[in-house]
C-alpha cells in the first residue's frame, strides 16, 4: 500500500470563478518553486499559445539599473499626448498590484486583471511560471483585450533573460547600467551591460540615457546595427538649471530641436531619453506639446513630496547609483543652516554600505527602520552594515512607522525629511503619510 500523500506537497489549486485579485496573487506565489528563475523557454511556450503571431502593437521596451519607471511614465504620457492608446507595464508595485498594468494611463480594474490571469492559467497547462512571468503574460493579454496599440514594457531584472524580452521591441530605451542584483546579473558594469543590451533587436532605434555606456552595450549596438541615440554624442543636455533645482529646467537639444525639460522631481536623463525617443515614435508631436506634457509628470515613490513643514519626500532609490542621484537632489534643496533627516530601510541583498556612502555627505540624522518582510533587514543589522560606511550615529527602530515618528519629532519645520530604500520601505511610508489620522503619526 502506498504511503498517504502529504497535503503540503500537493500542487496549489487554481482559483475558480469569482476569485479575487488577492486570491490569484497568492496562487501565483505558490505555483513555481523559486521567486526568480531567469530564462525565456517557459514564457515563450505560453506566449505562443496566447499569441500565435506577434501582437498588433508597437513595443517600447525600457531596461536599465535605475530610472526605468520614470522613462516609462514619460513615454506613456507623451504617446497619449500624441493621441495614442497606451498600455504600460511596470514593477514592482507600491500599494496595489493593479499599479503594474496601466491602460490609457489608468490602473487596470480588478475584473480586467482577473480575466487576463484566467487566460494565462488556461494557456499554460502544465508549464510552471514564476509570479513575474505569469504577471507579464497577463499584462500582454490585458493590453490585447483593451485594444491598446502602444505597449510600454519595463524590464523586471536584467534584460536578456527577463520575461518582458519574449516580445521583440520596436524601440528600446536603456536608462543606465550600474551594479545591482549581483547574484543574478554579475558584479561589474560590462557583464551587467551585456545582460541589459539583450533587449536590443537588429536595426531598431534605441536611446541610451547616459554618456558612459559599457563597451558591452556598444558592441551589441554595432553587432546588431542598432540606430543608437547616445547622450553627449547624439543629443545634449544643459544641466545647470535643473541640477540646481531652480529655474525653468535643463535644456535638451536633439535633431535640430531645442526644448526645456522640467527641473524635477524625476531623473532628468530618463525624461530626456523619453523625449528623444518620442521624436522617433511620433515625429509630428511638437515641442510645446512635449514640454507641456512633461511639465506635470510625476511617479509615485520617485522623489515624491508627501508632507510640508518639514518637507517630506519618499524615494525608492535602493542602490548606490540611485542614492547618488537622490543625494544630489536633496543637496540642491537644502537651505543653508538646515538639516536633512533620513529614514532608511533595506533588503539584505542590497549594497547598504554603498548606499550609505552615497548619502553620507547630505544626511545629518539617520533613522533606521527594520523591515518585517522576506529578505528584510532589522534596524540593528542595518546599523551594523552602515558602520562600514562610517555611519555610526543612527537611531534604530523596529518599524517604518516608529522611525518616521522619531524623525518627525526631531525635524524642524525648515528641515528636509526623506524616506528611502526598499519599495517595502516607501510603500509603508506612503500608506502612513497618506492616511495620517488613521496611522496616529
Across residues 381-390, what is the average pLDDT?
Answer: 94
| pLDDT recorded at residue 437 | 63
Task: Say whether pLDDT at 247 is over 60.
Answer: no
The string of DSSP codes covering 182-237 is HHHH-SSHHHHHHHHGGG--TT-EEEESSS---HHHHHHHHHTT-EEEEBTTTEEE
Q: Which residues contact 259 (CB under 8 A, 6 or more apart)?
A: 251, 252, 275, 287, 290, 291
User: How far is it, in rounded angstroms, from Cα 224 to Cα 203?
Assistant: 6
All structural domains of the chain: 21-295 (3.40.1190.10), 304-439 (3.90.190.20)
334: left (phi over 0), alpha (psi -120 to 50) or beta: beta
Task: Please answer whether residues 138 and 165 qualify as being in contact, where contact means their C-beta atoms are separated by less than 8 angstroms.
Answer: no
Task: Please answer whether residues 407 and 343 qualify as being in contact, where contact means their C-beta atoms are separated by less than 8 angstroms.
Answer: yes
* 226-242: b (≥16 Cβ within 10 Å) or e: bebbbbeeebebebebb
Model confidence over 55-88: pLDDT tens digits? 999 999 999 999 999 999 999 999 999 999 999 9
| pLDDT recorded at residue 5 | 44
Task: Please answer whether residues 257 and 283 qualify as being in contact, where contact means their C-beta atoms are separated by less than 8 angstroms.
Answer: no
Q: Which residues contact 236 (CB under 8 A, 6 or more apart)?
A: 252, 253, 254
Model confidence over 206-227: pLDDT tens digits? 999 999 999 999 999 999 999 9
Model confidence over 389-440: pLDDT tens digits? 999 999 999 999 999 999 999 999 999 999 999 999 999 999 999 987 666 6
Considering only residues 1 and 58, tell me which one the structure prediction assigns the higher pLDDT.
Answer: 58
Task: Please answer whether residues 407 and 341 qualify as being in contact, where contact means their C-beta atoms are separated by less than 8 angstroms.
Answer: yes
Task: Say whether pLDDT at 117 is over 80.
Answer: yes
Q: How confident is the model at residue 240 (pLDDT cuts 50, 70, 90)?
A: low
User: How far is it, in rounded angstroms, from Cα 303 to Cα 295?
Assistant: 15
Three-state SS for 355?
helix
Phi, psi of 199 (to 5 degrees): -85, -10
Q: How confident is the model at residue 1 (pLDDT cuts 50, 70, 90)?
A: very low
Across residues 97-106, what is the average pLDDT?
Answer: 98
Task: Say whether pLDDT at 180 is over 80.
Answer: no
- Helical (H) or strand (E) element with 418: strand 416-421
CA 275 to chain centroid, in Å, comes to 18
| pLDDT recorded at residue 441 | 76
User: How far is it, in rounded angstroms, from Cα 315 to Cα 196?
Assistant: 23
If one counts every other C-beta atom within 10 angstroms of the C-beta of residue 96, the result is 13
Q: What is the mean pLDDT of the chain?
A: 93
Q: How confident is the model at residue 248 (pLDDT cuts 50, 70, 90)?
A: low
Q: Which residues contact 371 (CB under 8 A, 6 or more apart)?
A: 345, 346, 347, 377, 378, 400, 422, 424, 425
Peptide linkage before 92 cis (omega within 30 of 0): yes
Peptide linkage before 310 cis (omega within 30 of 0): yes
Task: Say whether pLDDT at 146 is over 90.
Answer: yes
| pLDDT recorded at residue 37 | 87
Taken in order 183, 188, 193, 198, the sign of the CA dihedral is negative
419 - beta bridge partners? 314, 343
pTM of the predicted protein model: 0.92
Helices and strands, counts by H and E, the chain: 17, 17
Residue 321: name the closest of 210, 409, 222, 408 by CA.
210
Task: Please answer whether residues 303 and 313 qualify as being in contact, where contact means their C-beta atoms are separated by less than 8 angstroms.
Answer: yes
User: How far is it, in rounded angstroms, from Cα 32 to Cα 16?
Assistant: 19
| pLDDT recorded at residue 6 | 46
Model confidence over 6-39: pLDDT tens digits? 444 567 899 988 899 999 999 999 999 888 888 9
What angle, rounded to 10 degrees, do the helices at 352-359 and 379-386 form? 70
User: How far is it, in rounded angstroms, from Cα 122 to Cα 423?
Assistant: 32
**Set of cell numbers at residue 140:** 500582454
| pLDDT recorded at residue 35 | 84
Across residues 113-125, what is the average pLDDT?
Answer: 97
| pLDDT recorded at residue 98 | 98
Distances (CA, A) of 74 to 143, 154, 296: 19, 12, 10
Amino acid at each position: 500500500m502506498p504511503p498517504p500523500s502529504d497535503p503540503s506537497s500537493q500542487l496549489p489549486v487554481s482559483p475558480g470563478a469569482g476569485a479575487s485579485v488577492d486570491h490569484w496573487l497568492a496562487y501565483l506565489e505558490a505555483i513555481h518553486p523559486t521567486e526568480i528563475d531567469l530564462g525565456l523557454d517557459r514564457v515563450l511556450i505560453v506566449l505562443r499559445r496566447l499569441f500565435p503571431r506577434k501582437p498588433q502593437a508597437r513595443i517600447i521596451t525600457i531596461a536599465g539599473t535605475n530610472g526605468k519607471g520614470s522613462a516609462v511614465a514619460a513615454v506613456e504620457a507623451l504617446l497619449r499626448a500624441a493621441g495614442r492608446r497606451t498600455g504600460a507595464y511596470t514593477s514592482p508595485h507600491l500599494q496595489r498590484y493593479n499599479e503594474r498594468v496601466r491602460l490609457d494611463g489608468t490602473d487596470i480594474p480588478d475584473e480586467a486583471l482577473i480575466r487576463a490571469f484566467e487566460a494565462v492559467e488556461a494557456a499554460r497547462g502544465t508549464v510552471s511560471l514564476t509570479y513575474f512571468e505569469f504577471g507579464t503574460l497577463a499584462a500582454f493579454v490585458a493590453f490585447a483585450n483593451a485594444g491598446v496599440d502602444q505597449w510600454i514594457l519595463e524590464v523586471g531584472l536584467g534584460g536578456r533573460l527577463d520575461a518582458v524580452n519574449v516580445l521583440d521591441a520596436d524601440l528600446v530605451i536603456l536608462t543606465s547600467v550600474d551594479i545591482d542584483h549581483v547574484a543574478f546579473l554579475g558584479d561589474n558594469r560590462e557583464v551587467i551591460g551585456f545582460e541589459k543590451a539583450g533587449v536590443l533587436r537588429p536595426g531598431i532605434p534605441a536611446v541610451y540615457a547616459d554618456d558612459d555606456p559599457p563597451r558591452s552595450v556598444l558592441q551589441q549596438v554595432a553587432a546588431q546595427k542598432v540606430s543608437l541615440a547616445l547622450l553627449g554624442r547624439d543629443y545634449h543636455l544643459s544641466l545647470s538649471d535643473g541640477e540646481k533645482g531652480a529655474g525653468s529646467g535643463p535644456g535638451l537639444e536633439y535633431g535640430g530641436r531645442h526644448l526645456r525639460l522640467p527641473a524635477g522631481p524625476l531623473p532628468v536623463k530618463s525624461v530626456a531619453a523619453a523625449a528623444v525617443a518620442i521624436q522617433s515614435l511620433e515625429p509630428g508631436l511638437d515641442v510645446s506639446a512635449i514640454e507641456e506634457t512633461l511639465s506635470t509628470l510625476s511617479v509615485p515613490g520617485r522623489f515624491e513630496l508627501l508632507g510640508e513643514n518639514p518637507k517630506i519626500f519618499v524615494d525608492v532609490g535602493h542602490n548606490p547609483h540611485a542614492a547618488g542621484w537622490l543625494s544630489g537632489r536633496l543637496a540642491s534643496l537644502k537651505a543653508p543652516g538646515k538639516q536633512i533627516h533620513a529614514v532608511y530601510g533595506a533588503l539584505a541583498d542590497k549594497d547598504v554600505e554603498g548606499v550609505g556612502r552615497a548619502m553620507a555627505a547630505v544626511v545629518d540624522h539617520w533613522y533606521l527602520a527594520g523591515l518585517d518582510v522576506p529578505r528584510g533587514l532589522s534596524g540593528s543589522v542595518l546599523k551594523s552594515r552602515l558602520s562600514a560606511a562610517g555611519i555610526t550615529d543612527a537611531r534604530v527602530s523596529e518599524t517604518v512607522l516608529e522611525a518616521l515618528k522619531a524623525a518627525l519629532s526631531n525635524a524642524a519645520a525648515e528641515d528636509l525629511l526623506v524616506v528611502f530604500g526598499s519599495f517595502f520601505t516607501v510603500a509603508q511610508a506612503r500608506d502612513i503619510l497618506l492616511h495620517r489620522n488613521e496611522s496616529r503619526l
